[in-house]
Amino acid sequence: MRVMVLGSGTSHGIPAVGCSCPVCTSDDERDKRMRSSIYIEGEGGEKALIDAGPEFRLQALRAGIKGLDAIFLTHSHADHIHGLDDVRPLSREKPIPVYGNEQTIEEMKERFSYIFGTKWGTAQMGGGKPRLSPRVVDKPVRVGGLEFTPVPVKHGVLDILGWEVRENIPPEEVSPKEPGKSFLYLTDTSAIPPSSLELLQSGGAASQRCIIIGGLRERPHETHFSFEEALIAALGLGAKEIYLTHICHSHSHAEIEDYCGRFKEKQRPLAEGVEIHPARDGLELKI
């Protein structure tokens, strides 16, 4: 499968409005971070999106996205769902299913009452809105040859979802050394409950060749992993590649690369042979 990082920034995006810090005024394109989101294409042509932030239109144009088979939401904060209206051109032929936990789906319906109809009134028929099919989920979802498993995690006190994505491979093609193609996406995470750790380990942590995980900054934060917390959590899940995402403007891309190198030295031998980097907008990964 192919994974593209559409955005790697935190809720205010980078550059942040009104900010003249060194990162927000940087000439390094890697320091331009739209709100966090990823796009996935399976080998069978499946197309899926995890989160749709306020810049989705710009992200989709840059990435050349021509269609979507499904949208998966982590939670309902504005930087993760306020681009849903911009999937309108991609939903003309058929509604796009949108998956999330119950709280996320209910808040999405309230936020976009003109699409779904709520206590504020009946949704208006006709154009001017995307065709979305909300679906509360607590079990794996198949999209063609891709399987999306919801992974409950904590975002402060909020219950949100991470997503593990596996590409379907016929059993005869799976070797003991390569148990399957998969990756794990955990953004806005501050803790991984024991039940989710057990779920991921029972699914074969060694097969998680890549983990994209939220690491807000070096300093601790109440509702997000710090760089160190995120990297230690990813190493504990058997990651072979780790990319930090949902990054704020406290650190430049180059500074985070340097941090990752120092972290690897500090964590030897646990981090030996593991690729550890900050994500960047437009990054493409072959899983």
pTM for the structure as a whole: 0.93
Least confident of 27-36, 85-94, 169-178, 275-284: 169-178
pLDDT for 177 equals 43
Taking only the tens place, the pLDDT of each residue in 145-186 is 999 999 999 999 999 999 999 997 554 454 444 445 689 999
pLDDT band at 39 (very low <50, low <70, confident <90, very high): very high
**What's the structural domain count of the chain?**
1
State percent of the chain over pLDDT 90: 85
Compute the mean pLDDT over every residue in the chain, rounded to the nearest whole number: 92
- DSSP of the chain, one letter per residue? -EEEEEE-B-TT-BSPTT--STTTT---GGG-BPBPEEEEE-TTS-EEEE---TTHHHHHHHHT----SEEE-S---HHHHTTGGGGGGGGSSSPEEEEE-HHHHHHHHHHTHHHH-BTTBPPPPSSSS--EEEEE-SS-EEETTEEEEEEEEEETTEEEEEEEEEE---GGG-BTTB--EEEEEE-S-SB--HHHHHHHHHTTGGGEEEEEEE---SS--SSS--HHHHHHHHHHTT-SEEEEESB-TTS-HHHHHHHHHHHHHHTTTTTTT-EEEE--TT-EEE-
Q: Region 225-233: what's the mean pLDDT? A: 98
Which tens digit of pLDDT belongs to each residue from 234-269? 999 989 999 999 999 999 999 999 999 999 999 999
Could you tell me the CATH number of the domain that includes residue 101? 3.60.15.10
The residue among 34 and 180 whose pLDDT is bigger is: 34
**Residue 206 pLDDT > 50:** no
Task: State mean pLDDT over 192-215.
Answer: 82
Tell me which residue range forms the domain holding 63.
Answer: 2-286
* Across 68-82, 141-155, 207-221, least confident range: 207-221
Q: What number is the average pLDDT over the span 59-65?
A: 98
